[in-house]
Structure 1
């Protein structure tokens, strides 16, 4: 699953924030959720709530497609630094204590 923001126009703050999934064996990402608004979503939890609910359901029950049930498993969230900070609910990547993996303090 990948999350990223996409400005629509240079003259406005309108953006799309897209959730993309990559299906094993396929090399094209598939959109699974889109947010549109003036800037990024205010709250990451609100932005991801429906996706998390559906992903949990699919992980438990599988995905039925053309009479066959497929297992669904989320392997990771490869995002750029700003999107990773947003979905982790942490400080931005340029902040003093921005590292998600250690306690090092930046300058």
Structure 2
């Protein structure tokens, strides 16, 4: 639907992260793939679904992309600049 506004599908929380992002995203992937391929019926009309992006905070994005988290040594995903390690004595 043109002009449709983004909306939150579901916030998740728990005592720890899943072991692997595939475990976390498996059911979402299955459902969104089905919706993209087949749409769904609402008031006798087939509604098509498409995704254009995902909005994640930095820790969630690094988790689902399998990259080092924000603040890790040599972690910037947008450049190739190596960070500097500083031991603070703790």
Question: Do Structure 1 and Structure 2 share a fold, with TM-score over 0.5?
Answer: yes
Unmatched tracts of structure 2, length 5 or more: 85-90
Structure 1 runs of 4+ aligned residues shifted over 4 Å read: 23-28
How many residues get paired? 84
* Rounded Cα–Cα distance in structure 2 between residues aligned with 1:30 and 1:64: 21
Counterparts of 1:16-95 in structure 2, within 5 Å, are 25=3, 27=5, 29-32=7-10, 35-95=12-72
- Which gives a bigger RCO, structure 1 or 2 (Cα 8 Å, sep 6+)? 1
TM-score, length-normalised on structure 2? 0.74
* Rounded Cα–Cα distance in structure 2 between residues aligned with 1:105 and 1:78: 26
Whether the 8 Å contact between 1:35 and 1:41 is mirrored in structure 2 is no
Q: What is the DSSP-based 3-state SS (H/G/I as helix, E as strand, rest coil) of the residue aligned with 1:37?
A: coil
Residue 99 (structure 1) aligned with residue 86 (structure 2): no
* Rounded Cα–Cα distance in structure 2 between residues aligned with 1:57 and 1:105: 41
TM-score, length-normalised on structure 1? 0.64
Unmatched tracts of structure 1, length 5 or more: 1-22
